[in-house]
Amino acid sequence: MTAFERQWEDYTELVELKLKKYLADGRIHKTLSEAMAYSLNAGGKRLRPALLMAACELSDGDLGDALPLAAAVEMIHTYSLIHDDLPAMDDDDYRRGKPSNHKVFGEGIAILAGDGLLNYAFQVMLEFLPYARDRDDYAKAVLELSNRAGVWGMIAGQTADLLFAAGSGEPTVAELNYIHNHKTADLISGALLAGALVAGADQRLLEALRAYGSFFGLAFQIKDDLLDLQGDASLLGKSVGKDQRENKLTFPALYGEEKAAAMLRECTENARAALEPFGEGAEFLCEMAARMAVRDH
């Protein structure tokens, strides 16, 4: 196991312990808690929590302050997948090789499990506020995450994505950028910036992480688009070729596969370059960008 792999595993263990503790709260309705746990434990990479914790450590912060935020960003990511898989949205029966939430619990409970995860993300973040080392920094981190996840961030991207697939909107570069920046890059940037803000990072580091997040988020989505075209359904745990069937606006659709692959390499390189001035401490994030560009699922 490399140093990178060990660090990622450490982050994963920390956030999963935290999520387990939060989900074990006996006040949550039992069926709701099961539905939330089903999707939270369905084999996610815990990418956003790892980015958040790495940004916090790069900013010399305390992981204790970052953990509620890391758990919350994974809840927010998971709720967005549950709602995205619904028949009225992307209509996916499988997610990471398992039946989607609504295939197991029914659509009504899946909607509520998504609502529940979004609301609970804010509950756990707010509950920790009085215990944060610096409450102002912590509150800034929560606000950044909520703005990036919300109606001018991730939800705006989902809206544009849905409307385009339904036949409205032109297949332009501007439209593609809007969809992907918001649908994918915003929550990734939100995780990075929240990790840095909670640690009281200076403007120079915040700017660098903002640049890294934009490039990395874009690269992540281009890779997603390419995997839908070229990937192995059994490794992906979901069907492939779906974007084209559903008239999604993607990088390969607009630029062709070759150009999209070149853009993926360029974005990945730009993400690494943004953090170069920060030396060894930024190695985890640089390697994460490189790994995500060559992932098979």
Query: What residue type is assigned to position 255 of the chain?
Result: Y
- Tokens 């982050």 -> residue: 11
Q: What is the DSSP string of 153-184?
A: THHHHHHHHHHHHTT-S---HHHHHHHHIIII
The least distance separating a copy of itself from the CB of residue 290, rounded to whole angstroms, comes to 32
Is residue 188 part of the contact set for a copy of itself (CB under 8 A)?
Answer: no
37 binds a copy of itself (CB under 8 A): no
The answer to the question of residue 210 lying near a copy of itself (CB under 8 A) is no
Q: Does 155 bind a copy of itself (CB under 8 A)?
A: yes
DSSP-derived secondary structure for 269-286: HHHHHHHGGGGGGGHHHH
Q: Which of 163, 173, 235, 262 binds a copy of itself (CB under 8 A)?
A: 163
Residue whose C-alpha is closest to residue 51's, from 294, 292, 295, 288: 288
Listed residue (179, 191, 261, 235) closest to 49, CA to CA: 191
Least CB distance from residue 226 to a copy of itself, whole Å?
Answer: 25
By CB under 8 A, tell whether 119 contacts a copy of itself.
yes
- Collapse the DSSP code of 95 into the 3-class scheme (helix H, G, I; strand E, B; otherwise coil) and give the result: strand
Select from 40, 56, 70, 142 the one that contacts a copy of itself (CB under 8 A): 142
Given candidates 5, 127, 232, 246, which one binds a copy of itself under the rule CB under 8 A? Answer: 127
Please give the Cα distance from 202 to 162 (Å, whole number).
Answer: 37
Least distance (Å) between residue 286 CB and a copy of itself: 31
Which H or E element spans position 133?
none
Q: What is the largest CA-CA distance in the chain?
A: 52
Binding to a copy of itself, residues 60-89 (CB under 8 A):
79, 83, 86, 88-89
Contact set with a copy of itself (CB under 8 A): 25, 27-29, 31-33, 36, 79, 83, 86, 88-89, 102, 106-112, 114-116, 118-120, 122-123, 126-127, 129-130, 135-136, 139, 142-143, 146-147, 149-152, 155-156, 158-160, 162-163, 166, 182
